[in-house]
Structure formats: structure tokens, C-alpha cells
Chain A
Amino acid sequence: MDFGPYLLLATLEGAVGAAVLALTALGLALVFGVMRIVNVAHGAFFMLGAIIAWWVADRLGVGSALNFLAALIIAPLAVGAVAVVAERSVLRRLNYNPESTIVATIGLLYVIEQVALMTYGPDARPVVAPWDFRIQLPWFGYSGYKILVIGASIAILLAVWWGLTRTRIGLMMRATQFDSETARAFAIPVDLVYGGVFAFGAMLAAVGAVLVVPIQQAHYLMGTDPLLLSFIVVIVGGLGSLRGTVLAAVIIGLSDGIISVFFTPTLAKIIATLAVATILIVRPRGLFGTRPT
């Protein structure tokens, strides 16, 4: 294949990775931005979404499209429910203390991974893509499902942006993010907002996982890479900045995909890490990070 078509293929692969990464990292950024919690269990929620998607598709058995649609609804809801239980039973009891919650979410990560290993097992299992069609380009054919993943991610990101900037719930979340004490003084139920944001962040990771599981297969350790990349994205984008997170996800996802296709995935991770170091030297608060007021 010539260089041009090869680059196009690599860019498409990168765009698929960026689409899933943007969803996952946005969940992490929301939780950090609003609650000031570094959720180390975010990758475990991603993995749980993929495993529940496989379980739903396996049990339902009504055809790949319906199986997938059911998984796309049930898995994020189930993961959101797990997140709510974790938030109420662990994080709230720790009074959302930044240091304690890091340790607590590390524990949560291990608990979820071990429960997944004990129930789901060590095997990697695929969910069949809902539609099996290829888009034929002049140089190569490309999976229509992967294009759908990019489209779905863009639609969800736009919906989240609309919800945050155009609805009352979004306004409550943003007010809580900037000053939770003053938010309480204006009758904003901050504890409810925290619970909702933690669940929603986990659900975004689960949606990303359901979208990717027809491409990648579900496995109980599959949350590690998305977690690390999400952390990189959130730091590069600027802690708490959602638009920075999305932009960084696109940059890192695309570069990861392109370098993985042309060279190796390991080199892609090395370059991403070097990019983070460079950006943090030049702009210590990331691309869109602001000084605390």
C-alpha cells in the first residue's frame, strides 16, 4: 500500500482510539473536575462495562444488533449503579478527602478486577459487532462499525457538552465544581451532585468500553491502558478542563493510532509519555488548565 492510503488507514485507526479515549477520559475529567477525586478505579469501570456487555449479549442471544443495543443500555446503567454504591459506601464516608480517596479507589480497582476474574474468568471474549458492513474506499475497505464508533462518540460528547452548558443540572455541576460550599448556600444538593457525577463518569467509561468491545474483546485486565491514557489526557488537557480533555484525547488518540500502525504500540506509549513530560514543562497546568482562584 502507498504511503498516502496507509496514512489514511492509520489516521482512521487513531480516530477510533481517540473517540473511545475521549469518552473514557471525559468521565475521569468530570469526576476530578467536580469532586477533586483522582479515581484510580476508572479503568475498572471501563472493564466492567465491557464484561457486562459481553454477558448481556451472550445471555440475550436475539441477534447481534439487538444484543449490542441492549448491552449499550444495560452495561452503563449497571456500572453506574456500582459507582453509586461505591460513592455512597466509601467515598462519602471519607468526606471526599483527596488523598484517602486515591487509596480507596485503588482498593476498589482491585476488588472489581478480582470479582471479574472470579466470575468472568481470565479469558478474552468478543461481542459481535451490531452491523457487519464495510465501507469500500479506492485503496482499501474499512469497517463501517468503526466509523459508527467515531460518530457515536462525537454525538455523546456533544450531548454531554449541551447538558453541561444548557441545562440546570449542568449549571449545578459547574457551580459545585467551582465552589461547593457556596453552591450549598444556594440550595444545590452537593452530595447528590457528587453521587451523580461519579456515576456518570463511570457510565461514560462503560459506554466507551461497550463501543470498543466488538473491536478489542472483553478481558478482566483491559482497563489498565484506558486508565493510563485517560490520566495522560486529563493532565495534558489541563486538570478539570473538559474541552482540554477532549482536545488532548484527539491528539493522543490519533498519535497513538498512527504511531502504532507505522511502528509499534509500545513506541506510541513512549512518545505519548514524552509528550506529557514536554507539555508539563512548557505548560505546567496543561493545555487549558487554569490557576486555582
Chain B
Amino acid sequence: MLKVENINSFYDRTQVLRDFSLSAEAGRVLCVMGRNGAGKTTVLKSIMGLIRPHSGRVIIDGTDIAPLQAEEAPRHGIGYVPQGRRLFSELSVADNIEIGLMARGSGQDVRERVLDFFPVLRERFYQRAGTLSGGEQQMLAIARALCLDPCVLLLDEPTEGLMPAMIARIGEVVLKLKSHGVAVILVEQRVDAVLRIADRVLFVENGRSRETVEAEVLRKTPEMLERYLGVGQ
């Protein structure tokens, strides 16, 4: 569904990703893990075209979108939930949802489906996004991305700063999306959350994709976490 092949990405003159590759499949959750500064967020930004890779390919449904403008990624059905939510906080919930719908010309049926997913957003529909609680903001960030009716969803640390109940709720949402056939790429630091919802885990080290492991294997051999993250389960 989505393939990243040997991309090299830079911030100014500093190379962050080196020959980085991954593949995401429909109905499966790929979790990208690594130490701070390993390049996880840069992977997602490079897929979205927010950082244009200097070389390599980002292929979705046979089209290489790496050389295209950043606006092309959402048009090809890639939804993005950035780190820190990055809502349009001065705009209303309704406006944030509308921006998601506009990205791919989605209809009102998509909007209703997304709001059914997150009923609390219906109650807060005309409220300013910046006034929502942290958990509600994260739901809105995910809802906004789902308004694209995406085939691939990129989530950058969606559980950051949230209470356990909300983390569990986000886990449920990811599993539900997976059951709907969405390919999910999740950047996450919380090992417990990852082991609960991921199908595969890709370890990143110094901007390189090191090893992809089935989550089942990782649950049985937690020492791999020690090797790449410096933590045990």
C-alpha cells in the first residue's frame, strides 16, 4: 500500500534520514520506535512531503509522491496526525473538521461517520479547538485526519501527555481503523501501548531503518527493546 524506499532527508545541511525504508500494509499497524532524535518524526514528515527527501521514493498505490508538492500526500489518501496535535487552535472544531474534509473533497457522509467515531466532538462542534481538553484535542486531531477517508494514517506520538483512559481510547480507535483496512504507521514511545496494538515494529537508529520485528516476537523477546531503546518491558 505504502512503500518508502531508501529516502535521504535533511534539515538544512544536517542529514537526518539515511537510506531509510519501510512498508505499510492495509489493515496492519506498523510502529516506528527509536531513541529521541533517531529520526522518527522526520520519517513521517518525509512521507507527507513536509520535508522533501533529497533522494529515494515514497510510493503509494504505484505513484511516487516524493518529488511532488506536500499537498499531494493528502490527496493520495495519506492522513497525518502530527506530534503535539498541531490543531488550528483559534478555529472551531467545525472548521478543523471542514479543513480535513476539503483536503480530499470528502462528503458530509464522511463527516458524520467521523463524528460518530468521536461523539464528544459533536457536542463541542462550535467551540474553539484551543479550548478543548488534551484528550479531546487529540481526538479532534485524529478526526481531522480521518476526514480524508485515508487509506494510510500516520500518527506521531498520539498518546503524549494523555491520561491512561484516553490512551486506551486511542488504542481502541487505532484497532478499529485497522479492522476497516487502514494502514497505520504509528510513532510511539510507550512500549505498553505499542505491544498492545502494533502488528510489526520497525526500529530506527541514527536515521536508519534497522530491523522490522513482528510484535508477537517482541512480546516474547523484550531484550530487543533494551538493545534499541535502552529500556526493558
Contact = CB atoms under 8 A, between A and B. Distances in A.
Contacts of A181: 50, 86
Interface residues of B, number: 27
B98 A184 contact: no
Given A186-B74, A186-B100, A187-B75, A178 B48 contact: no
A185 interface: yes
Contact of B86 (A171, A182, A187, A290): A182
Contacts, number: 65
Contacts of B50: 181, 184-185
Contact of A293 (B89, B102, B144, B148): B89
Contacts of A188: 71, 99, 102-103
Contacts of A184: 48-50, 70-71
B104 interface: yes
Contacts of B75: 187
Given A181-B50, A293-B130, A186 B90 contact: no
B95 interface: yes
A172 B100 CA distance: 11
A181 B156 CA distance: 15
The interface residues of chain A, by DSSP majority, are classed as helix
B163 interface: no
A225 interface: no
Listed residue (A174, A181, A187, A290) with the most chain B CB atoms within 10 angstroms of its CB: A187
Contacts of A141: none
A185 B91 contact: no
Contacts of B91: 171, 174-175, 178
Interface of B: 48-50, 69-75, 80, 82, 86, 88-91, 95, 98-100, 102-104, 130, 144, 148
Interface of A: 168, 171-172, 174-175, 178-179, 181-190, 290, 293
Given A175-B99, A179-B86, 18 more contacts: A171-B98, A171-B102, A175-B91, A175-B95, A178-B88, A178-B89, A178-B91, A183-B99, A184-B49, A184-B50, A185-B50, A185-B82, A186-B99, A187-B71, A187-B103, A188-B71, A188-B102, A290-B90
15 contacts: A171-B95, A171-B99, A171-B102, A174-B95, A175-B91, A178-B90, A181-B86, A184-B70, A185-B48, A185-B82, A186-B74, A186-B148, A187-B72, A187-B102, A188-B99
